[in-house]
Amino acid sequence: MKKAIILANGDSPKKSEILYFLKKGYLKIICADGGANSAQKLGIIPDVIIGDLDSITRQNLKLFSANTEVINYTRQNDTDVEKALKYLISEKYKEVILLCATGDRLDHTICNLGIIIKFFNKIKISVLHKKSFLTAHNSDIKLKTIPKEIISIYGFDDKTKVTSKGLKYPLKNIALPFGKKESTSNVAMGDEIELKIKNGIMFLIRDFNILKRNDLI
């Protein structure tokens, strides 16, 4: 399965995080325009830089042009992250880790989280923000967990329901519509939880350091 990393134009990740995902088989690094500035700071050479190129510095564009494919994609109906995702989909990639998707601009953060839903049926997107690792699901899943691990679950409408097994605060065919109800800071009771999600998509947020330390990604 082809897997990639996208660096967006938000807060820079740690280099160790990128190296971790490379070891996990996410072998192509795509910079969404200004994400290339983060790559330069971290000493990472991306495989592709894509976007309208209004955020990458001229110096970094010149630096990377010799060894990196640069795609000047000026379609303004798409964000640079969407351009990167469409490129990966056209190249038959199935999974992507989205880094630098959050930062000091709340509008960009909301937009990038919405993109997960927009592209859900085309490519699997996970988001890492500092110690939080977000995944999206729409069906029955079993997850390996660590006892007392904190897991938060968020839905978006009244029709999407979830039933849980193995959580301290059980969810029984309940909707978690955004702005009305959520399951923040729920707790895994053992080494596995089960979730049955129907009629829509829900976000799960877990502690990246716990997942990494216990090889749960």
pLDDT reported for residue 157? 94
pLDDT reported for residue 93? 99
Q: Tell whether the model's pLDDT for residue 46 goes beyond 80.
A: yes
Domains of the chain with CATH codes: 3-130 (3.40.50.10240), 136-213 (3.40.50.10240)
pLDDT reported for residue 73? 87
Q: Tokens 């807060």 appear where?
A: 11
Q: Tell whether the model's pLDDT for residue 94 goes beyond 90.
A: yes
pLDDT reported for residue 75? 72
pLDDT reported for residue 136? 98
Q: Tell whether the model's pLDDT for residue 104 goes beyond 80.
A: no
The band of 80, judged by pLDDT with boundaries at 50, 70 and 90, is very high
- Is the pTM here over 0.85, yes or no? yes
Query: What is the arithmetic mean of pLDDT over 65-75?
Result: 92
Interval 137-164: pLDDT, tens = 999 999 999 999 999 999 999 999 999 9
Interacting residues of 23 by C-beta distance below 8 A, sequence separation 6+: none
Which secondary-structure segment (H or E) carries 3?
Answer: strand 3-7
Radius of gyration of the chain (CA): 18
